[in-house]
Chain A
Amino acid sequence: MPARSMPAVPEIPGVLKRHWRLVLYPVGMIPAVWLVWQGQHGALGADPVNVFERSLGLWAFRFLLACLALAPLRRFTGLNLLRYRRLTGLLAFFYASLHLLAYVGLDHGFDWLVLWADMTHRYFIILGMSALVLLIPLALTSNTLSMRLLKRRWKFLHRLIYPAAILAGIHFFMSFKTLNSVSAPYLAAMALILLSRLLPRSQTGDGI
């Protein structure tokens, strides 16, 4: 094997090569742990609940972007990272769920009257919640067994990520009072990725 003839390159232990998930899932959760730690040590500033809640939402949006970027990345650069779609998609769902939990529990102290009014009156909240609801069946069927059982329907079902991304994008845009240098790059990236899916596929396209 050529790898053996190049001792300068440290070898990735075989266990990690086969079980990269064991490493990458915890790595993806570091921001959540870091935010909780900061929150408990006064490092999130004067309004920690607000910063915590917004940061979790931003991480959900980042992972959603990463997940959606993998197909165009292969199409336009040839770099194939498609096997990380499940990882990034599940992490997006993980952060979106924590984001909701922070809003329901930490911010509103499970005040169901306030929450019900939010869910029935405010487009900002309805859009964000709808995006999360659309991600639930995707998370539930993200395993190989579901892929095998659902066959062609699996691919169709997982196109729900596009409406989810659009809803999340509008929710994200609305979470700021004005368009600004924080949100604009994320929104531009999301728009580019979604638009790239509308480009006509080449003859050799494989439908990814």
Chain B
Amino acid sequence: MALFRYPRPLPSEITPRNMYLSRRSLIGGAAALGAVSASADAATLQTHVGPYSENLTPTPHEDVTHYNNFYEFGMGKADPATQSQAFHPLPWTLEITGLVRRPVRLDVEQLLRSPAIEERIYRMRCVEAWSMVIPWDGIPLATLLKDADPDPRATHVAFESILRPSEMPGQTGALSGIQWPYVEGLRLDEAMNPLTLLALGIYGETLPNQNGAPLRLVVPWKYGFKGIKSIQRIRLLDHEPPTTWNRLAPDEYGFYANVNPQVDHPRWSQATERVIGAHSLFGAKRQPTLMFNGYGEQVADLYRGMDLRKNF
């Protein structure tokens, strides 16, 4: 954390939007030539330390922003950082609809100035058996859902990302069999849990494109793929919604996808995880994976009486 934070306007407040957008596409073009780095246009967020942040050492910024799974920008871990430069995360509207009494349409540029943004340092466990520690900046999802006033019939929350093949090269290839846009879902009580975060930034700055700009879901006790990126629509439902990876390989990726060292992936053990950030072949570390990724105290009650082997 920086020692001093001071109010700073977002770039969009200074420059008229159309100018701003054309400037961004210039930057994007230059970045494609390797002239500008991804973080060059990140803006500082006003954020304060929130609850549940643990005293963990964050993974280096370079790794958090250059080792990503974001198939919309390609399948390699380095692809999202290099292939996402043409993506325009702003302007952006987030919709909260479905079984709510007060449907919401949020201007994300306003959301980025919200005093409710807080820092949460969470462990991130990927289903591929690697992990990071990421200092997120965001707003508890529950805060936004309460604004929309969920109908009592609502039991689940569906999330939908964006379909924009012109700016997302990974969405044009038909080879993967992935049906775009990416969709995810939670039970309503999971979505209302105080740990569940709508992240708008990392490391005190707005989210880089490759990390899911302008806003993404963070559910720290679940495998990383539940953290849907670049969310456009949130819908409250009275049934469990389909989710992208579950649709593709239901035997490998369940709806719940809770981090669980006792339930293995069909192709590998989930008992341990590779710690990202060593950068040395013979100095790399493996550590035991924690039940619910270490957040059992906050979330174990949600699954009382459930067979977690069946509901993986």
Q: What is the interface of chain A, defined by CB distance below 8 A to chain B? A: 36, 39-40, 42, 44-50, 52, 106-109, 111, 114, 117-118, 121-125, 174, 176-182, 184
Contacts and interface: CB of A to CB of B under 8 A. Distances in A.
Given A122-B267, A124-B267, A180 B75 contact: yes
Nearest to B63: A46
Contacts of A114: 269, 271-272
A124 B266 contact: yes
Contact of B281 (A44, A174, A180): A44
Contacts of B271: 114
Given A46-B67, A106-B281, A177-B249, A184 B78 contact: no
Contacts of B284: 47-49, 106
B6 interface: no
A184 B173 CA distance: 12
A3 to B, nearest CB: 46
21 contacts: A39-B280, A40-B281, A42-B279, A45-B77, A46-B63, A46-B67, A47-B67, A47-B77, A47-B276, A47-B284, A50-B130, A52-B281, A107-B274, A108-B286, A114-B269, A114-B271, A122-B264, A122-B266, A124-B267, A180-B75, A182-B76
B65 to A, nearest CB: 10
B66 interface: yes
Interface stretch (B13-21, B174-182, B298-306): B174-182
A46 B173 contact: no
Nearest to B68: A46
Interface in B276-300: 276-282, 284, 286
Nearest to A121: B264
A190 B11 CA distance: 52
Given A108-B286, A124-B267, 15 more contacts: A42-B279, A42-B280, A44-B281, A45-B66, A46-B276, A46-B277, A47-B274, A48-B278, A49-B274, A49-B281, A50-B130, A111-B272, A124-B268, A177-B249, A178-B175
A114 B284 CA distance: 18
Across the A-B interface, give the 8 residue pairs with the lowest CB-CB distance, nearest first. Answer: A39-B281, A46-B67, A42-B279, A124-B267, A46-B63, A178-B176, A49-B284, A48-B281
Interface size class of B (residues with CB under 8 A): 20 to 34
Contacts of A39: 280-282
Contacts of B175: 178-181, 184
B176 A179 contact: yes
Nearest to B278: A48
Residue with the highest number of chain B CB atoms closer than 10 Å, among A40, A49, A52: A49
Nearest to B127: A177
A125 B269 CA distance: 11
Contacts of A121: 264
A40 B276 CA distance: 15
Nearest to A48: B281
Contact of B66 (A46, A49, A122): A46
Contacts of A177: 248-249
A129 B279 CA distance: 28
A177 to B, nearest CB: 7
A106 B176 CA distance: 30
A36 B67 CA distance: 20
Contacts of A107: 274, 286
A42 B283 CA distance: 10
Contacts of B76: 182
B66 to A, nearest CB: 7
Given A39-B280, A52-B281, A114-B272, A178 B78 contact: no
Contacts of B267: 122, 124-125, 174
Contacts of A42: 279-280
A173 B143 CA distance: 43
B281 A122 contact: no
A49 B267 CA distance: 17
A57 to B, nearest CB: 13
B63 to A, nearest CB: 4
Contacts of A117: 264, 269
A84 B67 CA distance: 39
Given A39-B280, A46-B63, A49-B284, A178 B248 contact: yes
